[in-house]
Chain A
């Protein structure tokens, strides 16, 4: 199961992780700001908000994010998947710049460059730490599962 290079399908799952979370958040934000102010005295209005189109789409996207995130964690290291989730911030910034025509400051361009270089660094390396075969049905004991780390 220890595979270092990902298949095209696995890269598409990582892309889904990157895209679906920021898109879901954007939909939720769009939906909530278009609603009248919700008071904590009337919590039922929050339930009703769930069924409005933007929020419903946002929730579906966030469910998609969590499913693809869990799938990615089942075959890649956490330290490999997390930069992919951070790359979503870059996608949102570029989306805001080129579609919504929002200005991006020099500092934000620097942030985009740093995240992109960081993700590129991780993507060049192995996706999963090589470890001896473990019995799949036994409860996890990650500390016991590893005997050696790759040196690079």
Chain B
């Protein structure tokens, strides 16, 4: 789809705000979804006992899961909005790599995951790697 976007390029603060919106909503979505799946328990075990229907029922009856998916939807539409104003080569790597770091921080403080030195190092390496790969 070819769109002629004649609007002036947004300034640095507007650009930062758009990317921040994507990163924050994506992080909230990922963390809430992870919390939902932890609260449900091992899906492989549930499927072994109650079958695939039981596993699907366990997921779709969890309110946290819907909260997570809602934030992921907000993140998706924030991405679409940002892509309408900014270049893909900026938005995609910046949001993907920053989200890795914010997720590690959020997982430590909200999910109480053991984000040790090994995982911090990995998060930073993958973050820089994604930026290099996609930029």
Interface residue ranges, A against B (CB under 8 Å): 1, 9-10, 37-39, 70-71, 73-75, 77-83, 86, 89-90, 93, 107-108, 110-119, 121-122, 124-126, 129-131, 136, 138-140, 142-143, 145-146, 149-152
Contact = CB atoms under 8 A, between A and B. Distances in A.
Nearest to B103: A82
Contacts, number: 157
12 contacts: A75-B42, A77-B113, A79-B113, A82-B100, A83-B100, A118-B125, A121-B121, A122-B119, A131-B112, A139-B63, A140-B35, A152-B117
Interface in B105-135: 107-108, 110-119, 121-126, 128-135
A115 B135 contact: no
A37 B111 contact: no
A1 B124 CA distance: 29
Contacts of B30: 78, 82
Contacts of B38: 73-74, 140, 142
A130 B38 CA distance: 12
A82 to B, nearest CB: 6
Contacts of A121: 118-119, 121-122, 125
Nearest to A136: B41
Interface in B15-64: 30-31, 33-45, 59, 63-64
Contact of B111 (A78, A107, A116): A78
A112 B33 contact: no
B95 to A, nearest CB: 13
Given A74-B41, A118-B123, A121-B118, A142 B110 contact: yes
Nearest to B109: A143
Interface residues of B, number: 50
A116 to B, nearest CB: 8
B114 A111 contact: no
A1 B122 contact: no
Contacts of B31: 78
Given A71-B43, A107-B135, A79 B123 contact: yes
Given A37-B2, A111-B131, A136-B41, A70 B33 contact: yes
Contact of B130 (A75, A86, A136): A86
A70 B125 contact: no
